[in-house]
Structure formats: structure tokens, C-alpha cells
Amino acid sequence: MCLKEITNKIRSMSLEEKIGQLNQAGLWDFELLCEEVRKGRVGSVILADSATAGNDEQQRVIIDQLNELQRIAVEESPSHIPLIFGRDIIHGYRTVLPVPLAAAASFNPDVVEKAYRAVAYEAANDGVHWTFSPMIDISRDPRWGRCIEGFGEDPYLTSKMGQSVIRGFQNADNKKGDSIAACAKHYLGYGAVEGGRDYGKAEISEYTLRNYYLKPFKAAIEADVATVMNSFSEISGQPVVSSRYLLHDLLKDELGFRGFVISDWAAVAQLVTQGVAKDRKEAAALSANAELDMDMVDGCYIDYLSGLVAEGKVSEETIDKMVYRVLYIKEKFGLFEHPFITRQKIDYQEHLELSKQCSDEVITLLKNKDVLPLDRSKKIALLGPFLHEKRSLLGSWTWDFDIRMVKSIAEVFEEYAGRELLVFPQSNYLWDDIIPALGDVDTVILALGESYRVSGENNCLANIDLPKEQLELAKRIKGLGKKVIGVFCFGRPIGLGEADIYFDAILYAWQAGTCAARSIVDIIYGKVNPSGKLPITFPRSTGQIPIYYNYHTMPRNGMGYYGEGSNYLDCCSTPMYPFGYGMSYTKFAYSEARCEKTALTLEELKNGKKFKVGVTVTNTGEYDGKETVQCYVRDLLATMARPVRELKGFSKILLKRGEFKEVVFELGSEELGFYNGKGEFCVEPGEFDIFIGGDCTTNNKIKITAVSETEN
């Protein structure tokens, strides 16, 4: 169906049929749903049972049910338009990848894209057309449970990782049946909710919105994302779900988004709860006039839009535009040509290998006092609450997995270490039993973590420090004089300020998916050299939050993150571990930063010319290893306060022992400019410090200058 045919199809439809295309229904009453589809009152079905699907067990996809619903839609409904089936495929299907925040620690968009392509194929093979991922909210507050669904605190990294996920889910030919439509969420500013509490309000200025929270959505549109989901939150008093400025003027007109926008779960009806609409009917009018295209599960559109059109409160022209966007995506993903499920045989072993590549690259070495990698001849002991855990290694927002594909940390260690291994049971051991058992043990590995049920939607924490019972376990083991390696299986960052001294090595394993345990053990024994880098700042304690690397300069003592400054009296000024940080078993030496030409005019920059800045990186250690080279920019003088540093480029490189490589970054107007207080993008004349190194605290810098025409 071509674009003209879509227009003609809409002209032939009744108003009720059009409104049906804007209604997404749930699957909880199959017989009733069949009847609604038969009447043309449903355009999409969400394959979920509850609002907080990420935390609840969900019914598996039943292919026969989906094919029957689709048959009714294309054969018996008035418009004969196929349904689009949506499901939360956040970071895995049968094969589970690391939680998205962990995936960002890879700093490797290519590896992530390939892994998500495998996940898309698995989901499409079961009849899923559309996923509500990636989440590209900027998150500076790890108390927020949903921070694990995004890619951290930085707009540039989030943009790149979001694009890789979109390109993994979607591909050049979306009609082949091995891809699914992606959905960029939550538009806009959901990660800025006050106190890290779900569904709260966010206070975001136009300046901050455009320079931080909007950037990943702009990047998603450039990657041709099919759909966008609104945020539950309000921004400065305006709920996003009813904001025409945000949903139409900014997203569609200015940024050029061509797909459709869906509400989050029952978000239209929640305008009543928010006190913006007096009832569900008014809520439907507000959202429709904002051109929110599809209403998820609350029935406001299907119940009231027809009457609102008759009353002149919503125009049928507006309805037509919304329907066009929905049908455009259905056509783009081949639903008119191939509405039914045709299953293929999948090589899950290949997908496991892709998942393993991901988990290898996300696990982050935060501390190592010459303990790792371990010598296999050493006798070690394993204990801790995550030693025998499988389910929580997968993280939140997973339910289609095959648990038979998952091994615990203990199981994988037993395959490696054999007789030189002491494994304690899950939790029913007594401290008096531990002490004598550890007599001839050299090193103790503590497998620590948090349940998948304490992160994700509506799972926010007031305290993200290491749980007290786990801290006490580490204290006691260290008190025996043993070397202690901590393996931390958490979805979010945690405060390690009090715990750090009790560990000789800290391996932050996140919740890394199906192959998490294999990657953990491979890294501990040196089969894999860790290469993860932190996509979000780790505080020393909860009280430091919010703490993020790209904060603005202050009028007095403004270097807190990087040294002395405006800080708390009862806490060190610096974070526990900074953004971009991660250790390796080898060492990397950086040359001084250099630049081909250190001055360009604004006119040259406007015409596409770029600064070329670079370094030579040498592996001076004893192991082959991967290093993420990071490039940061600081605008030294501007008409608006600017961040002390901003990530504007990164490159992950593999270096053999003794090998060196030159890494070059190109910086043009996009990297040097910003949006001013009027919402205008500008590149101002002046000097910029360019930092290149292994994390955000590097002092390896060079100065460049953007010259105005009057100075030239």
C-alpha cells in the first residue's frame, strides 16, 4: 500500500472505523476482544496483563490467539485493516541481554545493535510487531527504578545507544518478518521526576529541555524510529499527554517525526487524576487536540472521540492525520502484505553468543588491588545471596526468557575451578560454620546484588547504599584476613562509600542477562579482559544525589565533581566512581591531545568544516585489551552557563600488547553549539577546552578557537 493508497483508504472509512485505529486494547478478555476487533473498534493490541508489566509475570504470547485476532481484523472488520501487536521487549526475549543501563557501559553501539537484532527476530517470530523500547530518558538519579531501562546521565551516549537499539529492532527492510517497530520513550523529561519517584512532576526549562532531554529523541528520529511514547509526567505544570507544543509543534513539526505517538498505560484518563481534565471525555479532547495518536488501554478515544467530533470539539481532519500516521507505520512494517505469523527456525546458539559478547563488554572493573585475574591454582570460596541466583541476573522487564539457558555464578565456577573451590549453599549457613571452612582459602568471592523486583517501573528507592546485611557480610569476611572480590549484580548504581574498604576488587556485573554468569567467571579468570565504562556517576552515598559529571559552573567554588568546591560538609566532594570510568587488566598510555588546526571561523563551521582532534593510545600492559577513548568539550565563555564538560565523542578500540592506535574525533558546529534561552541553536565565538582520555576526569586537553568574522 503506497502513501496515496493510505489516504484513499482513510477517505473510505467511517469516523468510527478511524477512531478504532487509534485505540489500543488489552488482551485480558479474549472473547470480548475478538468482538471489539470484529466491530472495527481496535487498531492495536498490547500483549500485557498489567500497568506495571515490568514487575509482574505476564502471560506468554499465544500465536494461535494472535492469528485468530488478525484473521478477524482483515476478514471480518469493516475496514479490513490488520492489527499491530505490541509487547514490552525491553532488553530480551528468549535470549536476554544486559539491562539497558548496563548495555550503555559497553560504549559499543555496534555490539548492542547486533544483539538487539537477534532479540527482534525472536519476538517477530512469535508475532510481535512492535516494542515499547528504547527508553531514552536522561537519568541523573539512580533512586529512580526506571534508570535501569535507559542509558544513563549523558545525552550523547544515550543518543548513540538509543540509535543502536532502534537500528537493531528495525532494519532497512522492515517487511522481511525479522524486525519489529521500535518506540522511543518517555517523551519528554520523565527521567527528571522529582526525588527519583515515578509518575512525579519535572521542572525543566526550555534551555535544559533542548540541551539535555530532547537530544536523544532528535537522534531517535534521525534513526527513523517508528513510534514515540509520551511521559506520564508533567513539565512545569503541563502534562505531556495533553501538550500540543510538545507532541505536535516540537516533535512533529520541528523535529520532523513521521511515525505515531502512543500514550503510556492509561495516561489519557490520568489527566483527570492530575486535575487537568474534569472527566475522561475532556481528557480525550485534550489529548486528541494535542495529536496524541493512539490511546493505550483506557478507552477514552473509543468512548468519546465520535461525540467530540459531533460537538465540534475535535475536528475530523485531526482524526484523519492521526489515523494516517498509524496506517503509515502498519504499511511500513508490512502488515498489509503479511498480516499473519509465519514461524522460522531460530539458531538460539548464535543469539547466545551475541548476548555473551554484550555481557563481556558491559561488566565494569571498579577496583583491583592486584587480585584479578585469578590464578586457577588458588583455592577460593564462593558465598553471598547471588551465588545461586538465576532470575535476577536477567533484570526487570523480562518474562519471555528460557530459564534453562541461564546458569548461576556457582554453576559456572564449578565448571571452571573444580576441586579448588568451596561453594557455600544459598543462605542457610551459619557464621560459625564459615570460619573453620575458610581456613586454607586464599580468596573469597562475594556474589552480591538486588532482586529484579526492586528496580524498574514504580520500584524506586530512598536509599541506594549497599544493603546492610551484604555490607556486614563483607566486613566479617574481610575481618578474617582474606582477599575479598565483590561481584555486584545490581541494575542501578549503588553507594559504595562505606563498603569500598572491605573489597580488594570490585567487579560491577550489573544484571547482565542470560550469559551474565559466564561473563563474570571468564573475567575473573582472565579469559576476558573487562572493558566496561560507567554510563552514570556512582555516588559515595545516597545523600550525594543528584551528582552527575556535566553539571554547570557555579559562581563560587565550582569544581565539586572534579575536586574542591561547593559541597556537603559531611561527605567527600567527589563521586565514588566518575562517569566513563572503568579499569582493565592492562594499562593504556595516552599521548598529548593534538589538533590539526586549532582555529576555525564561524563561517567555516557553519559550512561543515570540523576540528580534528586526536591522541595516540598505546597498550603498555601485559594483556590484550579494549579501551573506550572519550572526548569531552568545555565552552570557556558563552552567553549562557555551560557544563564543565560534555561528552562529544567516544571510540572503543582493541589493542594487542604493545600495540598503539591513533584515535581522531571531528568536532563541528553540532558538537560546539548549544540551544540558547530562546530555543535557538547557536555556535558562539570563543575558546573551547577539548579533553581526551579514559574517563570524564581526564586532564589531557588542547584548546581550540571558534573565530568570529570580525576577529578574523
CA quadruple 127, 128, 130, 131: dihedral, nearest 10: -170
**Rg of the chain in Å (alpha carbons):** 26
What integer pLDDT is reported at residue 591 of this predicted model?
99
Say whether pLDDT at 677 is over 90: no
Say whether pLDDT at 559 is over 70: no
pLDDT tens for 52-111 read 767 777 888 999 999 999 999 999 999 999 999 999 999 999 999 999 999 999 999 999
- H or E segment at 458? none
Which residues make Cβ contacts (< 8 Å) with residue 439, sequence separation at least 6?
none
User: And the C-alpha cell for 370?
Assistant: 592486584
Say whether pLDDT at 437 is over 60: yes
What integer pLDDT is reported at residue 428 of this predicted model?
60
Residue ranges of E strands in 419-563:
421-423, 443-449, 483-489, 505-508
Q: By the 8 A CB rule, do 151 and 103 touch?
A: yes
What integer pLDDT is reported at residue 425 of this predicted model?
77
Say whether pLDDT at 712 is over 60: no
Buried b (16+ CB within 10 A) or exposed e, 272-292: bebebbeebbbbbbbbbbbbb
Domain ranges of the chain: 348-535, 588-707
DSSP state of 375: P
Question: Quick one: what percent of the chain has pLDDT higher than 90?
Answer: 88
pLDDT confidence bin for 122, thresholds 50/70/90: very high
DSSP for 184-232 reads EEEETTGGG-GGG-TT--B---HHHIIIIISHHHHHHHHTT-SEEEE-S
* CA distance to 278, 601, 682, per residue, from 711 (Å): 59, 9, 18
What integer pLDDT is reported at residue 558 of this predicted model?
64
Say whether pLDDT at 598 is over 60: yes
What integer pLDDT is reported at residue 349 of this predicted model?
97
β-pairing, 625-635 with 599-601?
unpaired
Cα 367 from Cα 497, distance rounded (Å):
13
Q: Which residue has the cell 471525555?
A: 281
pLDDT tens for 510-544 read 999 999 999 999 999 999 999 999 999 999 999 99
Cα 362 from Cα 652, distance rounded (Å):
12
Burial class (CB in 10 A: 0-12, 13-18, 19+), 700: middle
Say whether pLDDT at 357 is over 80: yes
Say whether pLDDT at 1 is over 80: no
Q: State which amino acid sits at residue 680.
A: E
Q: CATH topology of 348-535 equal to that of 588-707? A: no
pLDDT tens for 162-201 read 999 999 999 878 788 899 999 999 999 999 999 999 999 9
Residue 345: CB atoms within 10 Å: 6
Mean pLDDT, to the nearest integer, of 372-380?
91
For the entire predicted model, the pTM comes to 0.97
What integer pLDDT is reported at residue 679 of this predicted model?
92
Question: Quick one: what percent of the chain has pLDDT higher than 70?
Answer: 97
Burial class (CB in 10 A: 0-12, 13-18, 19+), 250: buried
Cα 710 from Cα 683, distance rounded (Å):
15
Q: By the 8 A CB rule, do 507 and 366 touch?
A: yes
Q: State which amino acid sits at residue 12.
A: S
Q: Does domain 588-707 correspond to CATH entry 3.40.50.800?
A: no
Cα 689 from Cα 432, distance rounded (Å):
58
What integer pLDDT is reported at residue 530 of this predicted model?
99
H-type helices in 76-179, by residue range? 100-105, 109-125, 155-169
Query: How much is the mean pLDDT over the chain?
Result: 95
Q: By the 8 A CB rule, do 537 and 578 touch?
A: yes
User: And the C-alpha cell for 397?
Assistant: 522487564
pLDDT confidence bin for 427, thresholds 50/70/90: low
Q: Which conformational region is residue 422 in: left (phi greater than 0), alpha (psi within -120 to 50 degrees), or beta?
A: beta
pLDDT confidence bin for 377, thresholds 50/70/90: confident
Mean pLDDT, to the nearest integer, of 101-126?
98
In the chain, what is the greatest distance between 2 CA atoms, to the nearest angstrom? Answer: 83
Q: How many CA atoms lie within 13 A of 616 on its CB side?
A: 6
Say whether pLDDT at 303 is over 60: yes
Q: Is 46 helix (H, G, I), strand (E, B) or coil?
A: strand
What integer pLDDT is reported at residue 176 of this predicted model?
83
Which residues make Cβ contacts (< 8 Å) with residue 423, sequence separation at least 6?
381, 382, 383, 387, 410, 413, 414
Region 348-535: CATH code: 3.40.50.1700
Q: By the 8 A CB rule, do 27 and 48 touch?
A: yes
What integer pLDDT is reported at residue 171 of this predicted model?
87
Say whether pLDDT at 420 is over 90: no
Q: From 610, 622, 686, 682, select the one nearest 648 (Cα to Cα).
A: 610
Q: From 360, 354, 286, 680, select the one nearest 524 (Cα to Cα).
A: 360
The highest-confidence range among 4-8, 153-157, 433-437, by mean pLDDT, is: 153-157
- 88 tagged catalytic: no
- Marked catalytic residue, from 126, 154, 264, 360: 264
Cα 414 from Cα 488, distance rounded (Å):
19
Cα 81 from Cα 20, distance rounded (Å):
10
What integer pLDDT is reported at residue 426 of this predicted model?
65
Cα 678 from Cα 681, distance rounded (Å):
9
